[in-house]
Structure 1
Amino acid sequence: MGEMVTFPANGGTCSGYLAKPASGSGKGVVVIQEWWGLNDNIKGIADRFAAEGFVALAPDLYHGVVTKEPDEAGKLLMALNIQRAEADLKGAVAYLKEMTGGPVGTVGFCMGGALSLFAACNSDGDVGACVDFYGGHPAVKYNWDNLTAPVLGIWAEHDDFVNPNIPTYKAELEKRNIPHEFITYPGTQHAFFNDEQPEPQYNPAAAKDAWEKTLAWFRKYL
């Protein structure tokens, strides 16, 4: 359904996977990769957004590198240049905003969940809604005072990597009266939305409900 495109970013260009609905237009959503890279799973999620009427762009934050090995994925996550990622995400948001004519949404998974919230905190109002699927990255710091987008947080019950941060996120959002909703799915593990992972890590029922809530969030706020 989609195609690879390039867009201005960081004084140069960044590539990404762009998927459009059959109508050719719609609200824009930036889909942000897990630590594996811009793989077929993330492209498939962009395609799913397009099938629901959104214009979806998944930027390639690893610039061509994709892995299936957890050890390598962990190294790639830790080696991510946060300043460059910020610039690439700003470029993706600006590209989609110009294409669609309005504020865009951000959504990401695992590392990408952290970067979805990070992008919303650095968008100067260009991000109109944010969804964070169990996001975490030890080097990402949030500019909470710059956040204006409503935030939907989707969490797994059993996730020692991410869950200790949730009370801080909630306190920062409440302090600034940012509309938000946090949902923790009972019995789930980190990355429960990823259907390329075996069950029980992948949880079809929770993934289905989280997808429906994500679509509703973007349709409400974009």
Structure 2
Amino acid sequence: MGTRIPFTQPDGKTAEGYLASAGKANAPGVVVIQEWWGLQDQIKGLCDRFALAGYDALAPDLYSGTVIPYHDTEAAAREMNSLNFLEATDQAVRGAAQFLLRGSSKVAIAGFCMGGAVTVIGACRVPEFSAAVTFYGIPPEEAAKPADVRVPLQGHFANDDDFASPEKVDAFAAAMKAAGKNFDLYRYDASHAFMNEQRTVHDRASAEAAWGRVRTFLSQHIG
């Protein structure tokens, strides 16, 4: 449904990503952020799903073409740990937002796993965003403080998760509340990456419930 496109970052360099268009003028936009596997078909499929729901969706390729197979967690960890999260947010992610705003009145960000952490950073650092949705991803506080989140944030977390553990979610939610931030928190009796239908951890009931909540949230904040 979508296609790979180039776009310009704030620093003037060219990045690439996968764009799925809603097919209507002035559609709101969603920047979709990949898991630690890279910009693979499942993330592209989510962009297509956003497009069918009426959003122009662009997933910037934060690994510059590298895609990791699901069995190779060591390679995925190496790629993630070599990524400069702040630079990626300020350049590729913000550039994607600016690209979408050429045809959209408002744009949000939604990310999964590693991309969920990038989403929270983007909610702090990218002025173009009007809303943010994180799936099972929380950055370290030195990268993004809850008090610095500047847009409404919706969070979806699994109760069986070592990456974004319930304890980390509790601490993040408490800090968001203490800072007076707009934070909608949902928890699911599922495992990390329950939205990824290509993996055995996929939980259809949780994924469909989360998707409905995302649709409602985005319609409230970006149209």
**Which residue number in structure 2 is paired with residue 119 of structure 1?**
122
Q: Is the 8 A contact 1:59 1:89 kept in 2?
A: yes
Q: Does 1:44 align with 2:48?
A: no
User: Please, which runs of 5 or more residues in structure 1 have no aligned partner?
Assistant: none
How many residues end up aligned between the 2 structures? 217
2:18 and 2:148 map into 1 onto residues whose CA distance is 28
What's the CA shift string for 1:101-125, capped at 9, x where partnerless?
Answer: 33x111010000011111111012x
**Which residue number in structure 2 is paired with residue 211 of structure 1?**
211
Q: Secondary structure of the residue that 1:181 maps to in structure 2?
A: strand
Q: Does 1:181 align with 2:184?
A: yes
**Which residue number in structure 1 is paired with residue 101 of structure 2?**
97
**Which residue number in structure 1 is paired with residue 7 of structure 2?**
7
**Which residue number in structure 1 is paired with residue 34 of structure 2?**
33
**Which residue number in structure 2 is paired with residue 74 of structure 1?**
77
1:209 deviation in Å? 0.6
Q: 1:46 to 1:202 in 2, by over 3 A?
A: same
1:182 and 1:139 map into 2 onto residues whose CA distance is 18
**Which residue number in structure 1 is paired with residue 20 of structure 2?**
19
Q: Secondary structure of the residue that 2:6 maps to in structure 1?
A: strand
4+ residue segments displaced more than 6 Å: none
What's the CA shift string for 1:97-153, capped at 9, x where partnerless?
Answer: 222133x111010000011111111012x2111110001455971044442211111
What's the CA shift string for 1:59-103, capped at 9, x where partnerless?
Answer: 00001111112221111111112233122111111111222133x
Amino acid at match of 1:99: G
1:15 and 1:178 map into 2 onto residues whose CA distance is 33
Amino acid at match of 1:205: A
1:220 and 1:113 map into 2 onto residues whose CA distance is 20
RMSD: 1.6
Amino acid at match of 1:190: H
Amino acid at match of 2:86: Q
2:142 and 2:115 map into 1 onto residues whose CA distance is 11
Q: Is the 8 A contact 1:120 1:130 kept in 2?
A: yes
Amino acid at match of 1:93: A
User: Please, which runs of 5 or more residues in structure 2 have no aligned partner?
Assistant: none
Q: Secondary structure of the residue that 2:38 maps to in structure 1?
A: coil
1:171 and 1:138 map into 2 onto residues whose CA distance is 15
Written as runs of structure 1 = structure 2, the 5 A alignment for 1:189-208 is 189-198=191-200, 201-208=201-208
Q: 1:193 to 1:62 in 2, by over 3 A?
A: same
Written as runs of structure 1 = structure 2, the 5 A alignment for 1:156-171 is 156-163=158-165, 164-171=167-174
Q: Secondary structure of the residue that 2:158 maps to in structure 1?
A: strand
